Structure formats: C-alpha cells, structure tokens
C-alpha cells in the first residue's frame, strides 16, 4: 500500500500542476488555451481525489485503504475523462459555428 499511496500522491501533483498553471495564466483568444482553462477545474478535482486516495492508502489499514484507493482512482479518471469530453464538445461547437458564419442556409451543421 505504501507504493500505491506514493504513486497516487505523485499522480495528484501531476494532475494539479497543469490545472493550476492553466488557471493562473491570462485568458487567451486561442481555442486551445480556452479548452485547457475549461478542463482545469476537473484536473484539480481529480488531484484532490487522488490525494485523498493516497493519504488513505498510506494511513489506513489495507482492508479499508485498498477499496478507498480504487474508488478514488476510478473517480479521478472518470472526472478527467468527462472534463476532456466536455472540452472536446466545446471545440467542436466552436469550430462548427466558425465554419457556418454567414452561410447558415447551406451549412449542414447547427449554426447556433
């Protein structure tokens, strides 16, 4: 459990650093920067989940620590996956709107 706890804490730091970095930078016009900024809260939430799992893995009895660690890791991975999916949807909507500008009558995508 020691190795799993330390790895989980390292993953928490690795998830938190890009999230904090994206939030501390000024807002950009570039779509990539906007998506990174939009995904940052999910990265921070995943970092908190991973840190909680790592602390429990280090401090608790293995009978309790292992299930909590598994739940925290699954929750963190799911949170980042959903946040990335939402970011990708945002980019697709934005690109579709950019492609449809001025040509909504002939565009096959939704021009909202």
- Residue 112 inside a domain? The answer is no
- 107 in a structural domain: no
Is residue 56 situated within a structural domain? Answer: yes
Range of the domain at 73: 2-99
DSSP 60: S
When divided into structural domains, the chain yields a total of 1
CA–CA distance, 5 with 7 (Å, rounded to integer): 5
Question: Does residue 106 belong to any structural domain of this protein?
Answer: no
CA atoms within 13 A of residue 9's CA, in its CB half-sphere: 11
Dump pLDDT digits (tens) for 62-103: 899 999 999 999 999 999 999 989 888 887 887 777 766 655
How far is it, in rounded angstroms, from Cα 58 to Cα 24? 31
Contact between residue 38 and residue 91 where contact means Cβ atoms under 8 Å apart? no
pTM of this structure:
0.79
The predicted-structure confidence for 34-73, as pLDDT tens digits, reads as follows 888 889 999 999 999 999 999 999 998 989 999 999 999 9
């Amino acid at each position: 459990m020691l190795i799993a706890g330390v790895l989980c804490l390292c993953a928490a730091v690795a998830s938190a650093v890009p999230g904090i970095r994206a939030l501390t930078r000024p807002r950009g016009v570039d779509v990539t920067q906007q998506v990174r900024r939009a995904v940052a809260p999910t990265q921070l939430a995943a970092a908190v989940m991973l840190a909680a799992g790592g602390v429990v893995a280090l401090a608790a009895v293995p009978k309790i620590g292992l299930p909590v660690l598994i739940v925290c890791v699954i929750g963190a991975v799911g949170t980042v996956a959903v946040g990335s999916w939402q970011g990708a949807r945002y980019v697709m909507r934005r690109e579709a709107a950019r492609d449809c500008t001025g040509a909504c009558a002939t565009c096959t995508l939704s021009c909202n």
